[in-house]
């Protein structure tokens, strides 16, 4: 719980500069994955929005080190979606938390990384940490 409280104090929800780390195995997986993709933008668009969905909510395939009782998700926003902001993202996450039955979610952190921390900066996305 101390780590969770620390994260809540250092993360800026709308413009996060806090630099997370990835486990060495996750980082190697990410590096191998990304070097094999020629056009990452097209790949992600097809993967995340196959039917031109406005948003996609999915578990992060390359999660940060955030603690054993924390699940790391991403909320991806289709670039064709207009006027989607932090408040919209937060409402979607609150709806997901309210209507899901997989985890007993005790708390959440929603944040958008600053450009300096983004590995994907051409598709808007928010990080969602769920404390379970």
* Helix intervals (H) in the chain: 2-10, 24-35, 40-48, 86-99
Q: How far is CA 83 from CA 52, 54, 75, 91, 111, in A?
A: 17, 11, 15, 14, 17
pLDDT band at 1; cut points 50, 70, 90: low
Q: What is the pLDDT of residue 119?
A: 85
- For the purposes of burial, counting CB atoms within 10 Å of the CB of 18, is it exposed (0-12), middle (13-18) or buried (19 or more)? middle
Is 80 exceeded by the pLDDT of residue 102?
A: no
Task: Give residue-wise pLDDT tens across range 111-130.
Answer: 999 989 998 889 999 999 99
Residues 6+ apart with CB under 8 A from 13: 86, 109, 110, 111, 112
Task: Give residue-wise pLDDT tens across range 3-42.
Answer: 999 999 999 999 999 999 999 999 999 999 888 898 989 9
CA–CA distance, 33 with 30 (Å, rounded to integer): 5
Percent of the chain with pLDDT over 70: 98
pLDDT band at 103; cut points 50, 70, 90: confident
Please give the order of strands across the beta sheet that includes 107-111: 55-59, 70-77, 125-131, 107-111
């Amino acid at each position: 719980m101390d780590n969770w409280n620390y994260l809540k104090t250092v993360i800026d929800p709308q413009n996060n500069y806090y630099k997370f780390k990835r486990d060495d195995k996750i980082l190697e997986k990410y590096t191998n994955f990304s070097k094999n993709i020629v056009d990452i933008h097209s790949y992600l668009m097809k993967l995340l929005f196959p039917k031109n969905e406005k948003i996609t909510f999915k578990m992060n395939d390359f999660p940060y080190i955030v603690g054993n009782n924390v699940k790391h998700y991403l909320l991806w926003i289709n670039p064709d979606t207009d006027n989607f902001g932090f408040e919209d993202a937060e409402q979607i996450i609150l709806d997901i938390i309210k209507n899901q039955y997989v985890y007993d979610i005790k708390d959440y952190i929603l944040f958008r990384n600053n450009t300096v921390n983004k590995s994907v900066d051409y598709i808007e996305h928010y990080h969602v940490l769920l404390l379970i």
